[in-house]
Amino acid sequence: MKITVITAVYNRADSITQAVQSVQAQSWPNVEHVVIDGASTDGTLQALQACMNAQTVWVSEPDKGIYDALNKGLARATGDVLGFMHSDDFYADKDVLQSVAAAFANPAVDAVYGDLDYVAKADPARIIRRWRSGQYSAAKLTHGWMPPHPTLYVRRSVFERWGGFDTRFKIAADYDAILRYFGQGKIAPAYIPRVLVKMRLGGESNRSLARIWLKTREDYRALRRNGVGGMGALVWKNLSKLGQFV
C-alpha cells in the first residue's frame, strides 16, 4: 500500500523541516510526500532543499490559498491512500503510518483517523489541548463531531468520487469535505485510539476575532449544504472543544 502525505506550506521556514523529517522518519516503507509551496520568500525553499529525499515531490509556485494548494497536492498524489501533514505539524512517533496501513488492510475501511495533541508553538513538548476523537457514528455528525483533519487518511477512491476541497471556503473547506465524505458519502471509517499528530497552536482559523467569526459562518454553511444539521450542531461543535483542555 502506497500512502501519499500532502503538505501545503507558505513562509514556514521555522517549522517545515520538522514536518518533512517527521514524514521521512516513518517506519512504513512505501510513502510519497508531496509538498506544495506557495512561492515562499522567508527561507522555506532553502529549508526544503536541504531536507529533500527520493520520496519527496515538491513544487513552488503562487497559489490561491491553502485549499488551492492542497488540491494541487491531490492532483499530483499517486498513493492508494491520501492524507495531510500541515507545515506546523509533526507525527507523534515513527509508527503512525504503519498503524494507518494496518487499519486499511481491511478492504471495507474507507478512511482512518486518530487523536491529536495541540502543543505550544514555542515549546512543542508542552501539550495545551488533547483532542480525543472517539469511535464514529452517523449521529455524532449532527452534534458537530469531526475527526481531526491532520489525522485523517482516506482511500483515493473517496476523493475521486466526492472531490477535494471547495476553495469558495476560506477556512472551513476541510470541515465541508469531511461532512461530504462522512455525511453524503457515508464512508466507513476506522478509529485508531492513540495520538497520531502533534499540532502547534496558532493556526489560521483562530488568529483573530474576524477569522473566528468567518470560520463560524463557514462551519454553519458547510453543515447546511451537506444536510447534516444547523445551529444546534454548530453550538455542540464549539462546546465539545472545552473538554480538550481538561
Which grid cell is 152? 485523517
- Interhelix angle 44-51/16-24, rounded to 10 degrees, is 20
Q: What is the pLDDT along the chain (246 residues), one digit of tens a residue?
A: 999 999 999 999 999 999 999 999 999 999 999 999 999 999 999 999 999 999 999 999 999 999 999 999 999 999 999 999 999 999 999 999 999 999 999 999 999 999 999 999 999 999 999 999 999 999 999 888 999 999 999 999 999 999 999 999 999 999 999 999 999 999 999 999 999 999 999 755 555 678 888 888 888 888 889 888 767 667 756 666 656 665
Q: Looking at residue 236, which CATH number applies to its domain?
A: 3.90.550.10
| SS3 label, residue 85 | coil
Which grid cell is 216? 463560524
d(CA 106, CA 112): 11
Backbone angles phi, psi at 240, to 5 degrees: -65, -20
- Residue among 231, 241, 242, 243 at smallest CA distance from 142: 231
Distances (CA, A) of 74 to 24, 84, 93, 143, 230: 19, 10, 24, 29, 29
How many domains in the chain?
1
Q: Note the pTM of the prediction, 2 decimals.
A: 0.91
Which residues constitute the domain of residue 81? 3-245
Using DSSP bridges, classify how beta strands 111-119 and 189-200 pair: parallel, antiparallel or unpaired: parallel
